[in-house]
Structure 1
């Protein structure tokens, strides 16, 4: 169990990096951030696949189809909506909306996988939900204060919130389905499954990059800003370096660590440990901006942690099939 918790912590530290990428490259459109990240992921998976070619050949067509679905929704659609949300509303709000993943996944998995993993008593989950809701209210109050003071565009803030909710839905679906496959194939290597997802991501990324390129020429301003230096932008070295870094660390290594955790822990428990991603993302964002979190954000983080710690103390009850 503790090995699984440590793998979940490592995955959170890796995934937190993706929240600061849109902040580090604010002029880069979300479509290019998404295709660039997963193009790097797919290319990096090619040499990794050589090491596991024998195990990869053992995967059946149904397994590759499952990997493709997981990559399309849990990778492409998730990061496209998340990066767009961050660029519209800033990092704190989308980060805290995604921060509800521990409870959202726990609620979904608690019902869906109650026979396989046991069930967390619903009444014991209510205090955890209340603590996390209070934490979100505190953080959003601070953000809304800036909007009311004329420091932001309320429409962009609302659009960012809706996009973050769409990202939340994508990543609620992904870990549950991913854990289903890993638990059903306990004899398979989590590393091989991470590499398989990278391989099926590559053609998607190539097609996605081509679509962005065509749109850039035929309809400037739709997917890329007018005058944007496609495909690498005004900071080509920063773009390539950042895409390779998050492609290796966040996509492949993060997925590997998460697969290891998912194979060891009940889904309702591993889902709650995504809080490590939220905390890492907040830490990276405030470090990049060279400022301390305001008191309301600190209080919200404390309540978020308290809610997840409360949930972690609840033991699953065996459910009769």
Structure 2
């Protein structure tokens, strides 16, 4: 349990970096950041596969590779495509609030779906944990909620953005549950090799996306990204390449590796709640970049998030009859 908690914590620290990338590269469209991240993930996975996981990857069967491809396409590309499109349609506040429900949604789904395999966290004992996390997320996202309430926009665009954000939640609810299914069914396999495999299947998809984006920019400038963008690396190529490499290694490969390790050790209903570490890390990085302290409401939200996780860790799963 403790080791799984530590792996989930490190995964959250790695994934939190993704949320500050748009702040550090404000002139780069979300599509460019997404393709750059996963192209770097795939390129980094190649030497790792040869140096560290060659033998373990050879043991994977065709169905395992197909599952890795499904996980990568839905949990990586489709998730970020929906999230980016939601932000473009409705702005940041509404999608942020919807995505913030992930820890609660995953916990609810996994606690019902995997009750026979993992045991079930008793609902009366789980409810206070989920309530604390939900209250903490509301406080942490208070500024976004206020901006949403005071914004005057096109209702249709807000509705489209909400639907896309809900689709993103569905993608990343499906991903950790299915990923944990494979890891639990293959307890003798290396979580590191499974992270590398997902990176390898990501590479051709990301490369194809970059080629298609370049073709679209050539034939119809401005259709997908700003017409003035200096394709492929933009106005600050060293910053873009360097940040994508760091995120590809740390957020994608190392984050997935640590999440795989946690998923093999913890019930999915519990590990789902530990995604709050990603929120906490993203907050810490954002305030560090801004060189200011969080406001009292945000600190109160952080305290509630931590209290919710601590409460959940004290709950022991109850085995249900097969």
Paired residue secondary structure (2:80): helix
Q: CA 1:288–1:93 in structure 2 vs 1: closer, same or farther (change >3 Å)?
A: farther
Q: Deviations over 1:128-156 (max 9, x none)?
A: 3333333343344433445667xx66558
Compare 22-31 and 157-166 and name the one that shifted more.
157-166
1:227 partnered with 2:233: no
Query: What is the CA–CA distance in structure 1 between the aligned matches of 2:55 and 2:143, rounded to whole Å?
Result: 53
- Once the two structures are superposed, the pairs formed by residues 4-43 of structure 1 within 5 Å of their partners are 4-43=4-43
Q: CA deviation at 1:97?
A: 4.2
Q: CA deviation at 1:46?
A: 0.8
- The answer to whether the Cα contact below 8 Å between 1:68 and 1:201 also exists between their aligned partners in 2 is yes
Partner of 1:58: 59
Query: What is the CA–CA distance in structure 2 between the aligned matches of 1:81 and 1:300, rounded to whole Å?
Result: 27
Q: CA 1:144–1:13 in structure 2 vs 1: closer, same or farther (change >3 Å)?
A: closer
Partner of 2:286: 285
Paired residue secondary structure (2:232): coil
Partner of 1:3: 3
1:217 partnered with 2:218: yes
- The answer to whether the Cα contact below 8 Å between 1:19 and 1:86 also exists between their aligned partners in 2 is no
- The answer to whether the Cα contact below 8 Å between 2:97 and 2:144 also exists between their aligned partners in 1 is no
Q: CA 1:164–1:147 in structure 2 vs 1: closer, same or farther (change >3 Å)?
A: closer
The TM-score with structure 1 as length reference comes to: 0.90
- The answer to whether the Cα contact below 8 Å between 2:15 and 2:255 also exists between their aligned partners in 1 is yes
Q: CA deviation at 1:220?
A: 2.7
Q: Deviations over 1:83-116 (max 9, x none)?
A: 55567745x7755643432221111111111000
Partner of 1:317: 318
Compare 263-272 and 289-298 and name the one that shifted more.
289-298
Paired residue secondary structure (1:317): coil
Query: What is the CA–CA distance in structure 2 between the aligned matches of 1:94 and 1:285, rounded to whole Å?
Result: 18
Partner of 1:262: 263
Query: What is the CA–CA distance in structure 2 between the aligned matches of 1:99 and 1:82, rounded to whole Å?
Result: 12
- Structure 2: runs of 5 or more not aligned: none
- The answer to whether the Cα contact below 8 Å between 1:110 and 1:119 also exists between their aligned partners in 2 is yes
The TM-score with structure 2 as length reference comes to: 0.90
Partner of 2:303: 302
Q: CA deviation at 1:56?
A: 1.0
Partner of 1:67: 68
Q: CA 1:148–1:190 in structure 2 vs 1: closer, same or farther (change >3 Å)?
A: closer
Q: CA deviation at 1:210?
A: 1.4
Query: What is the CA–CA distance in structure 1 between the aligned matches of 2:87 and 2:23, rounded to whole Å?
Result: 8
Paired residue secondary structure (1:166): helix
- The answer to whether the Cα contact below 8 Å between 1:19 and 1:95 also exists between their aligned partners in 2 is no
Q: CA deviation at 1:258?
A: 0.9
Partner of 1:207: 208
CA RMSD of aligned residues (A): 2.3
1:126 partnered with 2:127: yes
Q: Deviations over 1:217-265 (max 9, x none)?
A: 2333332012111111111111100100000001111111111111111
Query: What is the CA–CA distance in structure 1 between the aligned matches of 2:133 and 2:46, rounded to whole Å?
Result: 41
Q: CA 1:44–1:141 in structure 2 vs 1: closer, same or farther (change >3 Å)?
A: closer
Q: CA deviation at 1:291?
A: 2.8
- Once the two structures are superposed, the pairs formed by residues 128-143 of structure 1 within 5 Å of their partners are 128-143=129-144
Q: CA 1:118–1:177 in structure 2 vs 1: closer, same or farther (change >3 Å)?
A: same
Q: CA 1:315–1:181 in structure 2 vs 1: closer, same or farther (change >3 Å)?
A: same
Q: CA 1:305–1:158 in structure 2 vs 1: closer, same or farther (change >3 Å)?
A: farther
Partner of 2:102: 101
Q: Deviations over 1:27-48 (max 9, x none)?
A: 2111111111111111111111
Paired residue secondary structure (2:239): helix
